[in-house]
Amino acid sequence: ALSYHENWQRAWRNPKPKKKYDVVIVGGGGHGLATAYYLAKEHKITNIAVIEKGYLGGGNTARNTTIVRSNYLWDEAAHLYEHAMKLWEGLSQDLNYNVMFSQRGVLNLGHTLQDMRDIERRVNANRLNGIDGEVLDAKQVSEIVPIMDCSDNTRYPVMGASWQPRAGVARHDAVAWGFARAADQLGVDLIQQCEVIDILTEDGAAIGVETKQHGTIHADRIGCVVAGNSSVLAKMAGFKLPLESHPLQALVSEPIKPILDTVVMSNHVHGYVSQSDKGDLVIGAGIDGYTGYGQRGSYPTIEHTIQAIVELFPIFSRVRMNRQWGGIVDTCPDACPIISDTPVENLFFNCGWGTGGFKATPGSGNVFAATLAKGEAHELAKPFSMFRFHDGSLIDEHGAAGVAH
Ligand code: FAD
Ligand code: PYC
């Protein structure tokens, strides 16, 4: 079957790192690659390296369940995620790469009166911010997802949902590959299999990184976008971040015929599911409660997740699960990201996206690129400074986070 599959063109170069760059980005996930792309495209800074310890897009970008939505409660978060949503809507054309963005809608179910009040509040806030959203009752939910048990006979009957029609899913690998190819074409060096083991400073300013495989690489500015490893990188630079790193698991079933054409999330029974274009049911729930760097997770979380899915969808009870995995998510106390300068001059961090950063990929890269180019936070990034934990101006998005953490 693989005959004639030869002489494929490389999607990007495999360059040797230079001694010095204008900007070094640590972390070749979706966010790091998007940052490099927008730096080159919008700010004309092309002397950039993205340094990745494994392979491009092999971290949480590869491990996530691809839900994209912008229905966050507070203005600051809603504006940031909606900025990303607008970029998603033109991304395949912009990158000339099909990221398979599918706006099939996302339902966040409510199972109690308090859930429904929270949903009403969030949808009203969204609409005031120009973000699409509707409050649905149980009958309307069951019209969208007829295979879900919306009867009164369940432990926690579905009372309604928030519905964001423009939300949906995208193909995670394609997002990384599309940004990588486009950044490479603009001259960005993508350095894989190169681990940063130290951040070099002089007189309180970052001057470069030490790598395991290629020694010292100097830079005028450094942006760290390493998701679950953010605290490790911050320690190298001599400061602490208000982050906890937890495993977050997901699993997929054997492929089945098309049966679910939207995304269903329930914070109450606590599980979520969509169906991929291959036919697998893509399933997940909340973080594992312990902290650590092992990309696995524990059995009770899997059991709890499947219990929730079967409760909502008894029709799935005999579908076999094919694969399970975990990623490490860096969670902030207010369930919002950090896009920020740091106590070290010329060193910037973009992290703390926790369980929900995939949806932000283009927006995060876009505002972080502007932040790195100008040396000061993009307007949309300003509320997400790490120093908000000093002055208390937190943005509590636990309710909209989608999965509990
Ligand atoms: P990553 O893709 O993890 O990239 C960081 C990169 O940094 C990695 O490739 C890593 O190898 C590299 N790195 C780390 N340390 C070093 C070093 N020392 N030197 C060099 N490179 C280094 N979000 C959503 O919006 N919707 C979802 O449905 C969703 N589902 C999820 C499901 C699961 C199971 C998980 C784990 C996460 C989920 N997320 C979801 C969250 C989302 O995956 C992340 O927020 C997002 O992918 C983070 O992107 P990133 O580019 O910052 O991180
Ligand atoms: O943030 O929407 C989200 C999400 C869904 C699954 C994991 N995170």
pLDDT at site 140: 98
Q: Which whole-number Å values give the CA distances from 6 to 97, 159, 244, in the listed order? A: 21, 54, 45
309 neighbors 283 (Cβ within 8 angstroms): yes
State how beta strands 20-26 and 215-224 pair: parallel
Nearest-angstrom CA–CA distance, 239 and 226: 16
What is the CB < 6 Å shell around ligand 2? 65, 67, 69, 272, 284, 355-356, 402-403
Atom of ligand 2 nearest to the CA of 358: 1
Helix 75-95 vs helix 113-128: angle between axes, to the nearest 10 degrees? 60
Residue pair 381/368 in contact (Cβ under 8 Å)? The answer is yes
The answer to whether ipTM exceeds 0.90 is: yes
Q: What per-residue confidence (pLDDT) applies to 5?
A: 74
Whole-number pLDDT of residue 2: 65
Give me 148's structure tokens.
């879900």
Q: Give the Å distance between the CA of 352 and the centre of ligand 1.
A: 10
Pocket probe for ligand 2: among 71, 364, 403, the residue whose CB has the most ligand atoms within 8 Å is: 403
CA of 211, closest atom in ligand 1: 19
User: DSSP assignment of 117-142, as one string?
Assistant: HHHHHHHHHHHHTT---EEEEHHHHH
Tokens of 116: 């429904």
CA of residue 61 to ligand 1 center, whole Å: 5
- Residue position matching structure tokens 């997002």: 175
Q: Which atom of ligand 2 has the smallest separation from the CA of 356?
A: 1
Torsion of CA 68, 70, 72, 77, to 10 degrees: 110
Judge contact between 194 and 51, C-beta under 8 A. yes
Report the pLDDT value the prediction gives residue 1, as an integer from 0 to 100: 58
Cα(59) to centroid(ligand 1), Å = 5
- The tens place of each residue's pLDDT in the chain, 405 residues long, gives 567 777 788 999 999 999 999 999 999 999 999 999 999 999 999 999 999 999 999 999 999 999 999 999 999 999 999 999 999 999 999 999 999 999 999 999 999 999 999 999 999 999 999 999 999 999 999 999 999 999 999 999 999 999 999 999 999 999 999 999 999 999 999 999 999 999 999 999 999 999 999 999 999 999 999 999 999 999 999 999 999 999 999 999 999 999 999 999 999 999 999 999 999 999 999 999 999 999 999 999 999 999 999 999 999 999 999 999 999 999 999 999 999 999 999 999 999 999 999 999 999 999 999 999 999 999 999 999 999 999 999 999 999 987 777
Alpha carbon of 351 to ligand 1 centroid (Å): 9
> Which ligand has the nearest atom to the CA of 288?
1
